[in-house]
Homo-oligomer: A and B are copies of this chain.
Amino acid sequence: MYVELLGRLVKKNSSKIMLVILDGLGGLPFYPGGGTELEEAKAPEIDKLAKKSAIGLHDPIATGITPGSGPAHLGIFGYDPLKWDIGRGVLAALGIGFDLRKDDLAARGNFATMDEAGNITDRRAGRISTETNEELCGLLDGMKLGDVEVIAKTVKEHRAAIIFRGGEFSEKLTDSDPQVTGEPPRPVAAEEPGAKASADLANAFLEEANKRLKDRHPANTILLRGFATLPDIPSFESRFKLKACAIATYPMYKGLARLVGMDVLDAGDSLETQTGILKQVWGDYDFFFFHYKYTDSRGEDGDFGGKVKAIEDFDKYLPELTGLSPDVIVLTGDHSTPAALKSHSWHPVPLLLWSRHVIPDLVEFNERNCSRGSLGRMKALEVMPLAMANALRLEKYGA
């Protein structure tokens, strides 16, 4: 309803919107009585911006739900993450920067250990090294199954992306991964009649893969799950009439931006190179998705001090962004990654909005202030409409 309404109201103008995602920004106190990562960080530039901004919190999905990177970003991009449930196979391919095509079928693969009776004894093959994984993918990559070509790409350790190309595929397939040890892999089955040929193909791949891997104990088999094709998702430009670019350093976020049709720029691998490219292309786009990874990485490591420092490192570069004078700045995370939990979490995410049309909350940017901020608590899905409104890019509803 909301999305359809927006579609009717979107208009163009010359404003520029900057969306800065500090991945996994939200945090928790590391010790009883302590502050969160944002509270402990010395981030004078963020706080200077915050004091001119309206702040609040967003829930990536819904109360209590911990999101993966895919749904978390889609929500902020303005796509209902419950409607656009991007399959694991597609995310695995996007995550390694693989240029997945419209007709490809992708699955997440796990190299695994099978005993002589055919039962799975280790679903992760003892977490083989990434180097071993690359050797194994070399054994599978390029396999021909009739007209279909199989592309096998290493993700990390025991994880791979398996892509079927050159046919018409259905993603309505069950996993071969039994999810438990002591049982054999399950044959891939069609979840609807039209998926029968794709199931046969997947099973033919698994049979041939077992032959090629049989001497490679502990990684003597591969399990597939999350079969998926690229969703037929409307482009960001068609939704918001914004010419958009992504300035990210990690494949997953580039992939998610590409999924919605943003121009993915070669942004190097540091804030230095990212801000450099941002300045170069400033005249060419209306919308800039600027992604910073290390807040999430240090959170996942359980490295509280490292996450504090990652925030402080970003802080030094913020003037490079604000100095370009965007009309709207959204600074937030895609989800929370508290170092105390060493993982993504369900906690709502600090959200900062600056434009000439906000009532400043006049306080520093952290979880507790955001929980009392004037933006209140919204769904991630509401962030883009709010940014669009502040860019004066939405018509009035009704007369």
List chain A positions with a Cβ less than 8 A from chain B.
1-2, 5-6, 9, 28-29, 32, 36, 52, 57, 61-72, 81-82, 85-86, 88, 91-92, 95, 108, 226, 338, 340-341, 343-348, 357-361, 367-368, 371-374, 376-378, 382, 385-389, 394-399
Contact = CB atoms under 8 A, between A and B. Distances in A.
A367 B359 contact: yes
Given A373-B371, A376-B376, A394-B66, A357 B385 contact: no
A373 B348 CA distance: 13
Contacts of A340: 357
Contact of A61 (B36, B62, B373, B397): B397
Contact of A67 (B69, B70, B357, B397): B397
Contacts of A81: 397-398
Nearest to A64: B385
Given A64-B387, A372-B374, 15 more contacts: A1-B82, A5-B61, A5-B82, A6-B64, A9-B65, A66-B395, A66-B397, A71-B398, A95-B399, A343-B396, A345-B389, A347-B357, A371-B373, A371-B376, A377-B377
A374 B385 contact: no
B1 A385 contact: no
B70 A399 contact: yes
B65 A399 contact: no
A92 B389 CA distance: 25
A388 B399 CA distance: 28
Given A67-B396, A357-B28, A62 B368 contact: no
Contacts of A32: 52
Q: Which 7 A-B pairs have the closest CB atoms?
A: A64-B385, A371-B374, A68-B398, A64-B389, A63-B382, A71-B398, A346-B389
A85 B5 CA distance: 11
Contact of A378 (B6, B63, B72, B368): B63
A385 B82 contact: no
Contact of A57 (B68, B357, B376): B376
A28 B68 contact: no
* A86, A226, A346, A385, most chain B CB atoms within 10 A: A346
Contacts of A62: 2, 5, 382, 385
Contacts of A70: 398-399
B68 A396 contact: yes
A226 B226 CA distance: 48
A345 B389 CA distance: 8
Given A1-B82, A36-B359, A359-B368, A64 B394 contact: yes
